[in-house]
Amino acid sequence: MQTNPPSPAPPYSSLVAVGDSFTEGMSDLLPDGTYRGWADLLAGRMAAQAPGFRYANLAVRGKLIGQIVHEQVDVAAAMGADVITLVGGLNDTLRPKCDMARVTGLLTDAVERLAPHCKQLVLMRSPGRQGPVLERFRPRMEELFACVDDLAARHGAVVVDLYGAPSLADPRMWDVDRLHLTADGHRRVAEAVWQALGYDPEDTEWRTPLAATPPPRWVARRIADARFAREHLLPWIGRRLTGRSSGDGRPAKRPDLLPYDDPHG
């Protein structure tokens, strides 16, 4: 029986990732205390296809879309990478007061400044877990994603729809802070972007919902809720009240577009 040869890998030799904690890699925590995340995983795969592959990750946790535009966009554009990923604005939508016209305007500015300086710009409809807390912010999120779709159509960007993936809506894909994906969640995001860029799938089932398991008992849920409030919710509220961010003073983990090396082997 004749089989078709595998399709050639796209000719991408460099990647720059722009954004916030989602792209920095929280909460894909490694034994040495650093975060890996989907962008690092994607870069590793792309590097295996292209000798001399270069990678930069400018993302910093806690950044709002205005900070991403002012601190990362021009830097990324100047690097002239083949692929640029841009994910931002979700932190803004989770603020009690959010000017969505300003957020979408800044995102538009970012796309207009990045698109001419890469072969392929990648945008995303960010994943959203199930649960009552996010329901109040869902209209803002969907307004942001409608802007993403429109910008992609106008500028030839690829949109990776994580929001519509059943697997990533599952609470088991999210860390105890309920804001960041687990290692398996990041792996699935890397697979989604990999496929969107035209590479042959390694996991055709990344969207598939997880197998059902018995729900946790009432006591376990209350213990988890208390831990979440103590370790994550209260500190988050404290930062909002004092105007601080988890990313204040924190540099990008890969600020330069350099040949890819995996520090974790």
Task: Tell me the per-residue pLDDT of 63-86, one tens digit each, with 9 for 90 and over.
Answer: 999 999 999 999 999 999 999 999
- What lies within 8 Å, CB to CB, of 251 at 6+ separation is 60
pLDDT category of residue 219 using cuts at 50, 70 and 90: low
| CATH number of the domain to which 201 belongs | 3.40.50.1110
Return d(Cα 145, Cα 253) in angstroms, integer.
Answer: 27
SS3 215: coil
Examine the pLDDT at 185 and tell me if it is beyond 80. yes
> Is position 202 within any domain?
yes
> Is position 261 within any domain?
no
Q: The domain containing residue 119 runs over which residues?
A: 14-253
Q: What per-residue confidence (pLDDT) applies to 1?
A: 43
> Is position 5 within any domain?
no
Examine the pLDDT at 235 and tell me if it is beyond 70. no
> Is position 233 within any domain?
yes
Residue by residue, DSSP assigns 20-55 as SHHHHTTT-B-TTS-B--HHHHHHHHHHHHSTT-EE
> Is position 214 within any domain?
yes
The total of other beta-carbon atoms located within 10 Å of residue 89's CB is: 28
Pairing type for strands 254-259 and 54-57 reads antiparallel
> Is position 262 within any domain?
no
Examine the pLDDT at 214 and tell me if it is beyond 70. no
Structural domains of the chain, count = 1
Mean pLDDT of 183-211: 94
pLDDT category of residue 10 using cuts at 50, 70 and 90: confident
CB 82 within 8 A of CB 14: yes
pTM for this entry: 0.85
